[in-house]
Every structure is written in structure tokens, then in C-alpha cells.
Amino acid sequence: MNKSDLGKVIYDISNIKGEFILRSGQVTTEYFDKYLFEVDPLILAEIAEHMINNLPQKFDQLAGLEMGGIPLATAISLKTGCPSLFVRKEAKQYGTCKIAEGGVIEGAELVIIEDVVTSGGAILDAVQALRSRGATVNHVCCVIDRESTGRNNLEKAGLTFTPLFTKSELESYAKL
């Protein structure tokens, strides 16, 4: 599937109208319900295939953020053979007390994988937690950039931000 066809499918499946409060606290009348495209194995495989092109040339592991980044990181991992971590919003308070499951953080160069970015707040929290545990994190890849403050916030933090689609791109593909 080419990128514009994928964009149209993602928009058609996941764009819903109403009144929604985002993690950032912003209120919006348009929402991308990423789970509607992440649970479809054919669409998820297509997204992973296209996201591979946005990965940096050198890194050790994918770091999928809880919850929506995890299926994406897994799908990309299956396509590339690169290992992935599953990054929690907070470290467990019991058992191993880990912030991320599935591998070694210390000394690893990680690429953050996320679904939809608005302000980038969850990503910045994860990057801080991972860096404090010895990881190098310089790149963030996502499916949808809502074109809010996310890009600016991530780039201010020294991160390279590469979305597969912007909200504007998805809207243009929806008209095809």
C-alpha cells in the first residue's frame, strides 16, 4: 500500500468527531483513536513497513511507549529484527520496579516509538526516565503528529522528531 492510501485508511478508521480532552489537557473536537488502526493486523503491518523508513541508521532498540507505542514497536521489531522495550508511564512499585520491560536500558541507544503526539509530554517524561537510567535517546518516531506543540517541545529537548503523518497530511488524504 502506498503512503497516501495508508493515510486515507488511517484517517477513515481513526478520525472521530466530538468533544475530547487530550492528555495535555487540551480540549479538541477531533480525535484520532489510534487503537482503531493499531488492532487491525493488516493496517498495523503497513504502518510498521512505512515507519521503518523513519528510523535512524544506528540504534540498539525500539522503545514503545505504554500503551499505543507498544504494538507499533512490536510490529516494527517483527519487520526489522530490532529488539524492543515496552516503556511504562511509571516504574512498577513492586517486583522488579522497572520503567521498561524487555531488555537492558543502561548504555543502549533507544528510538522512542509513539502513536499520536500532541504536546509530547508523555514522550518527554519517558525520555527523562530512560536517560536517568543510562540510555541514550535522540530520536522519536510516531504515526500522527497532531501539529500542536509536540514538535517544538521535542526539538527543544534535543530530540529528532519524525512523524509518519501530520494531521494536515491525513486530512488531505481523506479527500482523495
- Decide if 113 contacts 64 (C-beta within 8 A): yes
The confidence score (pLDDT) of residue 95 equals: 76
The confidence score (pLDDT) of residue 96 equals: 76
Report which of 133, 112, 109 is spatially closest to residue 123, judged by C-alpha positions: 112
End-to-end CA distance of the chain: 15
User: What is the residue-averaged pLDDT of the chain?
Assistant: 94
Q: Render pLDDT for 55-70 as a digit per residue (tens, 0 to 9).
A: 999 999 999 999 999 9
State the average pLDDT over residues 13-28.
89
What share of the chain in percent tops pLDDT 90? 86
The confidence score (pLDDT) of residue 94 equals: 79
Phi, psi torsion values for 126, nearest 5 degrees: -65, -45
Domains of the chain: which residue ranges?
A: 3-174
The pTM of this model reads 0.94
Instruction: Please indicate whether residue 96 or residue 107 has the higher confidence score (pLDDT).
Output: 107
pLDDT band at 128 (very low <50, low <70, confident <90, very high): very high
The confidence score (pLDDT) of residue 97 equals: 76
Q: Which fold has domain 3-174?
A: Rossmann fold (3.40.50)
The confidence score (pLDDT) of residue 129 equals: 95
Return the H-helix or E-strand segment holding 143: strand 136-145
The confidence score (pLDDT) of residue 174 equals: 86
Q: Render pLDDT for 36-90 as a digit per residue (tens, 0 to 9).
A: 999 999 999 999 999 999 999 999 999 999 999 999 999 999 999 999 999 999 8
Q: Show Cβ contacts of residue 141 under 8 Å, excluding neighbours closer than 6 positions.
A: 51, 54, 55, 111, 112, 113, 114, 162, 163, 164
Q: What is the helix, strand, coil percentage profile of the chain, to 5?
A: 40, 30, 30
Instruction: Please indicate whether residue 89 or residue 165 has the higher confidence score (pLDDT).
Output: 165
